[in-house]
Structure 1
Amino acid sequence: MAQLEVLYNAECPICRREIEHYKRISGDDLACVEITAQSAADWGLSEDQAAKQLHVRRGEQILVGVEAFVAIWRQLPYFWVLAPIVNFKPIKVISSVIYSRCLAPLLFAAHKRRMQRRAGVGS
């Protein structure tokens, strides 16, 4: 089975901490890739598209959002217990709505503000 690749926003302190934790406990099961213009393009995404939600890839299959989290959790000690729970259809639907309509947009908006501050825009 191909290694699971995780495309994540290393500029986001929450995302970075979470992925660093996953890396520590995963052994060699995860390949974590920071979002850059090149890495996003390699996944067929713009940097903004990549930063809007978590993406994972195994071979040619790309999963986004809650499905990406479930794929990661399936491979991690202790977290594997969460995968079937969150993947249970009613929970997955609710989790997906909360993540895609609330959490991911809030994190992306914070990311854009951080990038603007770094660039000196809006000061």
Structure 2
Amino acid sequence: MAQLEVLYNAECPICRREIEHYKRLSGDDLAYVEITAQTAADWGLSEDQAAKQLHVRRGAQISVGVEAFVAIWRQLPYFWILAPIVNFKPIKAVSSVIYRRFLAPLLFAAHKRRRRRGGAAGS
């Protein structure tokens, strides 16, 4: 089975902090890929598309948003118990709406503001 790759926005302080936590727990079980123009293109995305939501990939299969979180959590100690709960259809539906309509857009808007201010490198 191919390794799960996580495409994440290292310029986002919240995203970076969460991924750093996952890295400590996962060891070499997951591959973490920072978003750049090249890595986004390798995934068939623009940088903005990649930064709008969390993406994971195993082989050719890409998952986005809550499905990406569930895929990561399945492989992490402690979090594995959360994965089936969030993946339960009613919870997943509500979580996906909250993530897609509120959380991800807020994080992306903050990302764009940081970039406009030129604070991307030091955020």
TM-score of the superposition, structure 1-length normalised? 0.96
Tell me the equivalent position of 2:5: 5
Name the residue aligned to 1:47: 47
Segments of 4+ moved more than 6 angstroms = none
Which AA in structure 2 matches 1:64?
V
Q: In structure 2, what is the equivalent of residue 34 of structure 1?
A: 34
Letter paired with 2:75: Q
List per-residue Cα deviations over 1:39-88 (Å, max 9, x = no partner).
00000000000000000000000000000000000000000000000000
TM-score, normalization by structure 2: 0.96
User: Which structure 2 residue ranges, 5 or more long, are not aligned?
Assistant: none
- Secondary structure class of the residue paired with 1:57: strand
Give ranges in structure 1 of 5+ residues lacking alignment: none
Alignment-derived partner of residue 100 in structure 1: 100
Aligned residues: 119
Q: Over the residues paired in the alignment, what is the CA RMSD in angstroms?
A: 0.7
Query: In the TM superposition, what is the alpha-carbon distance from 1:112 to its structure 2 partner?
Result: 0.1
Tell me how far apart the structure 1 counterparts of residues 54 and 47 of structure 2 sit (CA, whole Å): 12
